Amino acid sequence: MSLPLPGPGSDPAAEPEAWGRLLELAREESADHLLLRHLVEVWARTSGARGVALYLEQGELLRREVAIGDGFPSILERDDVADGAAGVVPLPGGALVVEPPEAAAAAAGAAAQLTLLLGAAATNRRLKQQIKAERFQVNYRIVELEALYDVGLAVAGTLDRERLAEEVLLRAISLLDARRAALYLIENGSYRLDRAFGGAAAADVAVADPELARFLAGEGPAPAALLPGARYAIGVPIQVEAGPRGFLAVGDKETRRGLAPFPEGDRRILVLFATQAALALENVRLHQQALENERMAREMELAAEIQRLILPTGAPPVPGYSLFGWNRPARQVGGDYFDLLSLPGGQIGLAVGDVSGKGVPAALMVSTLHSGLRLLLDRFPPGPELVEALSAHVLASSAPSKYITLLLAELDPGSGALRYVNAGHNPGLLLRRDGEVELLDASGLPVGLLPGSRYQARAVVLAPGDLVCLYSDGITECLSPGDEEFGTDRLAALLAEHRDLPLAELVEAIDEATCAFGAGTPQGDDQTLVLLRREEEKA
């Protein structure tokens, strides 16, 4: 751009056009930098200086606005332009730095008018910059509020945990002009690093770490290992009403002049932001938990279905006898087991087992017991040898301290002989026709408890009208509201009272009696019954 500019020592009256152009520039808002440049150029020519730079105050420093000539630094300290410093011409809100320094004397001589004009233009420029900076700050506060609002919206809008966590971390950095940050979320009782930006961060921090607690309360520095190498850091908890969920730490605030500590206002913004983030993250966590519960419920239903298929749905027909089995787990899946088998030679196998523990682990052992028993029945008759082999199998394929009580019996329907092995199970009840009760006692340890367990077979002979009841402890240990056990005597009495009912109805009677005894107390254990009755010959 070609401009008529006032010459050295110019008088406004002598060069009205050139001075008019300068005044026109002074009125143009967008041309103030250009105006300053022209004025400095004229000042340099008028003063005879080799070089002149105009510096304007910006915060605690002075920033170079215009430079004619080389070698002028972009930033100066206030001390560099103090009154009386060589080669410095003070201006309102700034200074001219002149080379050679002697040329500065022109400010009081030939360039005096120009110096005044330059001072006014510099003030104007500085005020405009100040307004611009303040407008920038106001706009950035709006950006901060928008960030808080957006994260709040994410509460309803985002169920993608990864995206949300990323958004939280990036917005925290951006909001506070931080150089680095780390997001920690509680996992298994400690703060686990979810993600970090701008540098390494500690992988885990103990929830009870007192240094961390002081840091998050704004009462102490960050633990040294948290953001290694960070010069400045602030952190705030991420918590909901139910308690802490994690924390957010940001480090090294940026300014145009380098790193700086975070002012107190930044902590307040971060607290507000973390409150919004906590709600959003908690929303996602609860959603994930609901999905997980749903998945678990589906899997449990599948496991229950598998277990239902393991247990027999009916009894093999045995002429002259009634046989019935029943099971009700306390949870979806259980640790009780029973089986009713047709064996070679017309023999009938009966089994009742109870795995230590409950729920899924017990159900898995039931599967082990079922498959082991079925396989071993191909090799052994249902007697001590089979139970010893079964014990070794269970011991080898289950967790330590897991075992199974088992009562395994074999009926010879023709003779009524019932040969049994009781491996640590509740004694079966044999109710004779005349009302006498005999116990089918244990003759060895539960299977899978110890290696090398040995068992003995015992036998009884069932006469017409005799009733055998094999059961799990879920029946006899059923509790009343007063914590009294149902017990073997009540069971034996029930059997005696209803001994002639069809076995399915007898089971119903026992079930009704235990439920009535519990008086609404939730079923605490799996319940199993196997009933065998030798029917009396009809006249």
Using CB under 8 A, list all residues that contact another protein: 30, 33-34, 135-136, 139-140, 142-143, 146, 150, 166, 169-171, 173-174, 177-180, 195-198, 254-256
The nearest distance, CB 153 to another protein, in angstroms, is 12
- The span from the CA of 17 to the CA of 31, in Å, is 18
Nearer to another protein (CB atom), residue 3 or residue 306 = 3
Nearer to another protein (CB atom), residue 260 or residue 291 = 260
The nearest distance, CB 197 to another protein, in angstroms, is 5
The set of long-range contacts for 310-318, using a CB threshold of 8 Å and a minimum separation of 24, is: 310/337, 310/366, 310/367, 310/370, 311/337, 311/338, 311/339, 312/338, 312/339, 312/340, 314/340, 315/340, 316/340, 316/341, 316/342, 316/348, 318/348, 318/411, 318/413
The nearest distance, CB 147 to another protein, in angstroms, is 8
Distance of CA 226 to the CA centre of its chain: 20
Residue at 147: amino acid letter: A
- The span from the CA of 503 to the CA of 44, in Å, is 119
Nearer to another protein (CB atom), residue 163 or residue 454 = 163
Nearer to another protein (CB atom), residue 67 or residue 421 = 67
Nearer to another protein (CB atom), residue 21 or residue 33 = 33
The nearest distance, CB 270 to another protein, in angstroms, is 14
The nearest distance, CB 254 to another protein, in angstroms, is 5
Phi, psi of 385 (to 5 degrees): -60, -45
Nearer to another protein (CB atom), residue 58 or residue 476 = 58
Nearer to another protein (CB atom), residue 182 or residue 495 = 182
**CA distances, 49 to each of 70, 98, 104 (Å):** 12, 7, 8
Peptide bond into 100 cis (omega under 30): yes
- The span from the CA of 275 to the CA of 528, in Å, is 53
SS (HEC) of 209-276: CHHHHHHHCCCCCCCCCCCCCCCCEEEEEEEECCEEEEEEEEEEEEECCEEECCCHHHHHHHHHHHHH
The nearest distance, CB 247 to another protein, in angstroms, is 18
SS3 507: helix
DSSP 50: S
Nearer to another protein (CB atom), residue 154 or residue 411 = 154
The nearest distance, CB 165 to another protein, in angstroms, is 10
Maximum pairwise Cα distance, the chain = 151
The nearest distance, CB 1 to another protein, in angstroms, is 10
